[in-house]
Amino acid sequence: MQRIALAVCVLLGTIVAASSAAAPSASRARNGPLVLDGVDPSNPPVQLFRISPTGHGLKQLTHPPRSSPIWSECPSWSSNGRTIFFDSNLPSQVYRMSSQGTRRRRVDSRNAPPRTCPSPNRDASRLVVVEHPSPTISRIVRMTAKGKSAYVLVQTGNAYQTLFDPQYAPTGNRVAFSFLEHNRSGQGYRRAEIVVIHRRSYRIITARSKGWFYAPSWSPNGRRLVAVRGNPYGGNEIVTLKPNGTSVRHVARASGTVSSVAFSPDGRKIAYVQCKFLCSPFRQSHGASIWIMNANGSGQHPIFRQAPGTVAPVQRVDWARR
């Protein structure tokens, strides 16, 4: 098992083996809308939007008071497509709402540490989130969907490391996430890896592969991950791999930097967010777009392109089951 300088909670063993309950056949699933975080230049804080897979019907789901610094980001659908989990700042805490943006409710207690990027398990009874107990420490934490029984699964070992993008597998209790280690100069990354937690252990599944890997997302049957492979400053190659890190396959190359990838619920398509240089709420002057392609990399086409004065996709895209 590959090792990294992470402080691992001794109770990692509480992550149990995969559930015997099987996920519905991907071929039976119907592809619903996409949810994304984006910036509207007329009201700059990052907010959540939904859009159809054809690029129609862009709808803003979260609405801060005008000129408010409150933003919402990092959305994930529940498996039935009825609930969206996300984080909202001041301070960063986890929320949930309906697929239409109604019934917004805070999951975290008021005194919870800052938490971001929630991902629900199969029945939405548990979440994995990134917790930030201090500006220099990040953790992957498991908790109930009501914000109870928060439990640290793994945390960084020094101030140069960052954990993000935790993703529950569609079955059982496996969790995949990104591990970044910044160069001491602050420019670029020393390494970027994908880690999978399963049963009593964690494993850096990309440790023996060339390149920097990040933004893992599970296939509907849980047999593969789709991710981004790149260099110390970002990536534009989309790959798939098995959860043990083997069978890394090139799928497609984007024309810009990719920040997020997601399988469709039927497993036949992949959506991704692409920016010309850097996907960031603070650097959207060069435009951003959402693309969809077949799972084998063919048929790449944009469904949404930022135009002057319109919404710019920022970080995360996720695909709902109808």
The tokens for 99 are 């697929």
Chosen CATH of 6-13+28-321 out of 3.90.550.10, 3.40.50.2300, 3.40.50.720, 2.120.10.30: 2.120.10.30
Report pLDDT for 100. 96
Dihedral of alpha carbons 13, 19, 20, 23, sign: negative
Cα 76 to Cα 78: distance, rounded to the nearest angstrom: 7
Cα 122 to Cα 318: distance, rounded to the nearest angstrom: 15
Report pLDDT for 221. 96
Cα 260 to Cα 216: distance, rounded to the nearest angstrom: 8
Cα 60 to Cα 37: distance, rounded to the nearest angstrom: 10
Residue type, 194: I
Report pLDDT for 7. 52
Q: Can you point out the beta strands (E) in 89-224?
A: 93-98, 105-106, 115-120, 126-134, 137-144, 151-156, 161-168, 175-182, 189-198, 201-204, 212-218
Report pLDDT for 52. 97
Domain regions of the chain by residue span? 6-13+28-321
Mean pLDDT per 10-residue section of the chain, whose length is 322 residues: 46 34 59 95 88 96 85 96 94 95 94 96 96 94 96 93 96 95 83 92 92 96 97 90 97 95 98 86 71 98 89 93 90
Q: What is the full DSSP assignment across 204-256? A: ETTTTSSSEEEEEEE-TTSS-EEEEEEETTEEEEEEEE-TTS---EEEEE-SS
Give me the numbers of helices (H) and strands (E) for the chain, helices first please: 0, 25
Q: For residue 182, count other CB atoms closer than 10 A to its CB.
A: 18
